[in-house]
Every structure is written in structure tokens, then in C-alpha cells.
Copies of this chain bind each other. A is one copy, B any other.
Amino acid sequence: MNYYPLRATGYLPETLILANGSFPKHPLLLDWLKRCDYIVCCDGAADDLLQRGIKPVAIVGDCDSLSASSRSEFAAILHPDSDQETNDLTKSVRFCLAQGRSNLTIIGATGKREDHTLGNISLLTDYMADAQIEMFTDYGVFTPISTDSLFQSFAGQQVSLFAMDAGELTVTNLKYPVVRKSLHSWWQGTLNESLGNEFRIHPTGSVIVFRVY
């Protein structure tokens, strides 16, 4: 069974992907940005990072939102990819996989255009077979699963489940049972909460789990 621990400040992500949404505000994520030695930026996100004196190992994307000065100063770490079929976060994930990185932590992927937020969250399930992949926001962490999974938690932690397809799912040690209300809805219980130090999800399809910090 897959196990998903809670991450605290002491944790150091192997690979950090900074997407082009709102720049992270949460201290946990800012600490990771300071300490992680393998940061990949989606396009214009690099400008925000460079302003804070942090240099990524790579800048990936179609380079349409990167400033001209960054484009020229950091040409050596630029990996332009103009594929119109994918977005910058997908390109960055693929870049990391091609570099042999298999433990990917995505931050900065929400908070601006909502269609980008939805697209970025949705793509987590596209890559869960290829990598250990999670997305941390200012509010919590998204984890995609498709097999029995055990999550570290704490009593009262708010937990939301989002189904990606029509599969049923059952849960253990969450306050409310999950009853699939509609096949036409992603929402599988935004109001749930953990009853203790861990909870389990048994999906028959793809599910994205959100644990609020």
C-alpha cells in the first residue's frame, strides 16, 4: 500500500517544480525554495524566483511569459518547448522525468486563472504512474492515487476527495462515508475530516486527495 506522510519544514523535496500561478506564501514552501538544490521553473515563474535571489536549475516552457532580461541572462538554463498541446507545468514535469527525477513536488500552481488551476491539478493523475508526484499550495497538499493508499493525518484535519472518473471509492477513518452522489461531479466530499493519525482510501478509479495543513 502506498503511504503518504505529512510534510513539515524539516522535509526537503528531491525536485521542486515552481509553476506559473501565484507565488507561494506559505512558510513551508518558502523554506523549501530556499533549501532545495533542484528547482525547475515554469516559464515566467522564474522571474519571481530570480527576484528573490534564488536560481533554478532549469526554466521550461514556451518562454512567452519570461522577461527579456531573464531570457538573455539565463539562456544557459533555458529549455524552450513550444508544444501547443500541453501547458508549461506538463512540460516541466516531462523535463524532470527525462532527467531521471521521480519524486516531484509541485508548488505555485494555483491562485491565478481558474482554468489553469484546474488543468494543473488535473494533470497530477496523468503522471502518477511515472513518478511520486504531489502538489503543495498555500492551503494544503493534493495527492493523486489509483490504488489503496494510507495517508498520515491528524484528528480533525480537513480532507477533500475528488474523483477523476466513474469508479467507486471507500474510505477508512474519515468522519463521513463517501457516497458518490453524481457521476457528473468531481466533488466527493469537500467537508470530510480525518478521525486520527491516518486514514485510508480504497479507490477503484483515479482520485485526488486534498489534505488541508
Contact = CB atoms under 8 A, between A and B. Distances in A.
A113 interface: yes
Contact of A212 (B115, B182, B186, B190): B115
Nearest to A211: B115
A87 B110 CA distance: 21
Contacts of A162: 115, 118
B139 A185 contact: no
A123 B164 contact: no
A186 B140 contact: no
Contact of A121 (B118, B139, B184, B210): B118
Interface residues of A, number: 41
A156 interface: no
Given A117-B117, A190-B87, A183 B212 contact: no
A191 B84 contact: yes
A176 interface: yes
Interface in A180-213: 182-187, 190-191, 205-206, 210, 212
Q: How many copies altogether?
A: 2
B185 A126 contact: yes
A190 B116 contact: yes
Given A112-B139, A165-B184, A119 B87 contact: no
A85 B187 CA distance: 12
Given A184-B165, A191-B87, A210 B123 contact: no
A84 B192 CA distance: 9
Given A113-B140, A176-B84, A191-B87, A118 B165 contact: no
Contacts of A111: 111
A166 interface: yes
A73 interface: no
A185 B116 contact: no
A115 B125 CA distance: 16
A190 B140 contact: no
The 4 closest A-B pairs by CB, nearest first: A115-B160, A119-B190, A122-B187, A184-B206
